[in-house]
Amino acid sequence: MGDSGPAASSAGAGFAATKAMFTLPPDIVYMDGNSLGPLPAGALPRLSSTVAEEWGAMLISSWNKAGWMAQPNAVGDRIGRLIGAQPGTVTVGDTLSIKVYQCLAAALRMTRRKVVLSDDGNFPSDLYMASGLIDQLDDAHELRLVPPEELESRIDDTVAAVLFTEVDYRTGRLHDLKRIVEAAHERGALAIVDLAHTAGACEVDVARSGVDFAVGCTYKYLNAGPGAPAFIYVAPRHIETAEPVLRGWLGHARPFDFTLQYEPAAGISKFRIGTPPVLQMACLEAALDVFEAAPPMSEIRRRSMELSQSFIDGVEARCPMLTLASPRNPRERGSQVSFRFHEAYAVMQCLISRGVIGDFRAPDMIRFGFTPLYLDAQDVDRAVDTLSEVMAMRLWDEDRFKKKSFVT
Ligand SMILES: *Cc1c(COP(=O)(O)O)cnc(C)c1O
């Protein structure tokens, strides 16, 4: 039976096969896929053949012959299948921060309203991009931040767009995408969702949700590697009217006419900007192969909830000094679990020295990402055992674990 058959996947056999599709160092439990996914085994051969057989052998003709120029939209369609987007509505390029800016700028040109509503649990880069954009516009524009729990209720008829990240990067709290979109539309506002911690980990259906714009990165749960490009989705009903503000030549209708007048390309291509990152895209393609061999997203999500629940149960039973910072209900959190502790940084450094890799977020949080693609029940048991040793014996209480690096 194939790995994606329902019987195989519910028995977990599908995930043993996906785990074998990653190259992980021996004796490591990797729980930081929410920050940087691990290396898909197929990435290195794919990258190497792109470098040698395309760039090296075919040189510049690869733009046509190897399909480099068509790749952002082709890869966009593959990501689209994981997020419920119709073909032709997603393209890939740039970084997530840039894609946030593009969506927001396009949204603000579609309305006379002046308020961008977001929440103070949103990722800072999204808020910085919004404030930079707003500072360039007239004085009437405003970035309004509210607590995450109030996001839906604070949408009023001054709001141009609601900009939110579905999964909170610190606590894992999950916003109700469908409800926020509905609330926004009822009050005449647009909705822009950031799927940074959703794509590849949680089920999402951007088309069905009715969201106007969606963006995300590919180096977290999509495992495409450091510096991998971001993606952008525009709902088909807006694609004619949405205006790109960042006007690059590859978003032009005929880039190789080199005309002085900008004329947007048809469809999602107008949200392309400049030269695609071909080598990163090769890694992204190999990373997406894993999802195409894996059980469906619904099964990935179901298993991830089981793993995270068993982690919470184990840690709470054995580490009373840690406080759960994530929602207790697995349906209200994404694919990560966080705990608070006053020496969280030292705890995480100590854990990492013992082969269990998560990360730290200021001021006092340790964070663990869960995906069954390469984490199994034994890994989770080992993480609980290691963490409970570190806590019970205060193994974290050493100077070497308290020296902060730049990246935490
Ligand atoms: C990870 C993350 C980013 C990072 O943006 P880059 O431009 O890729 O560095 C932005 N927003 C959110 C919500 C994130 O989780």
Q: What is the pLDDT of residues 156-206, one digit of tens each?
A: 999 999 999 999 999 999 999 999 999 999 999 999 999 999 999 999 999
Share of the chain above pLDDT 70, in %: 97
Residue 222 corresponds to which tokens in the numbers above? 């999509």
In this structure, are residues 103 and 213 in contact, taking their beta carbons and an 8 Å threshold? yes
Amino acid at 264: P
Locate tokens 């963490």: which residue? Answer: 387
- Flag whether pLDDT at 42 surpasses 70: yes
258 is catalytic: no
Q: What are 25-40's pLDDT values in tens digits?
A: 999 999 999 999 999 9
CA-derived radius of gyration, the chain = 22
Long-range contacts, 78-82 (Cβ 8 Å, 24+): 78/285, 78/288, 78/292, 79/199, 79/216, 79/218, 79/222, 79/231, 79/288, 80/233, 82/199, 82/200, 82/222, 82/288, 82/291, 82/297
Whole-number Cα distances in Å, 126 to 79, 97, 103, 385? 21, 6, 11, 36
Q: What are 270-307's pLDDT values in tens digits?
A: 999 999 999 999 999 999 999 999 999 999 999 999 99
More confident residue, 101 or 9: 101
Q: If you take atom 2 of ligand 1, which residue's CA is the nearest one?
A: 196
pLDDT band at 408 (very low <50, low <70, confident <90, very high): confident
Share of the chain above pLDDT 90, in %: 95
Mean pLDDT rounded to a whole number for the chain: 96
Q: What are 347-391's pLDDT values in tens digits?
A: 999 999 999 999 999 999 999 999 999 999 999 999 999 999 999
Nearest CA to 118 out of 139, 140, 147, 98 is that of 147
Measured in Å, residue 230 CA sits from the centre of ligand 1 at 9
- Flag whether pLDDT at 2 surpasses 90: no
- Flag whether pLDDT at 4 surpasses 60: no
Whole-number Cα distances in Å, 321 to 73, 342, 357? 49, 10, 20
d(CA 332, CA 175): 8
Measured in Å, residue 408 CA sits from the centre of ligand 1 at 15
Phi, psi of 364, deg, nearest 5: -150, 35
d(CA 346, CA 328): 25
In this prediction, residues 324-351 reach a mean pLDDT of: 97
Whole-number Cα distances in Å, 24 to 11, 20, 29, 218, 373? 23, 9, 9, 18, 12
Ligand 1 pocket mutation pick from 125, 170, 202 by most atoms within 8 angstroms of CB: 125
- Flag whether pLDDT at 394 surpasses 80: yes
- Flag whether pLDDT at 255 surpasses 60: yes
pLDDT band at 13 (very low <50, low <70, confident <90, very high): low
Nearest CA to 244 out of 275, 266, 260, 276 is that of 266
pLDDT band at 138 (very low <50, low <70, confident <90, very high): confident
Q: What are 200-239's pLDDT values in tens digits?
A: 999 999 999 999 999 999 999 999 999 999 999 999 999 9
- Flag whether pLDDT at 5 surpasses 90: no
219 is catalytic: yes
Q: What are 65-114's pLDDT values in tens digits?
A: 999 999 999 999 999 999 999 999 999 999 999 999 999 999 999 999 99
30 is catalytic: no
Ligand 1 atom with the smallest distance to the CA of 123 is: 13
d(CA 358, CA 338): 10
> Does residue 222 line the site of ligand 1, with CB under 6 A?
no
Whole-number Cα distances in Å, 300 to 134, 293, 358? 38, 12, 20
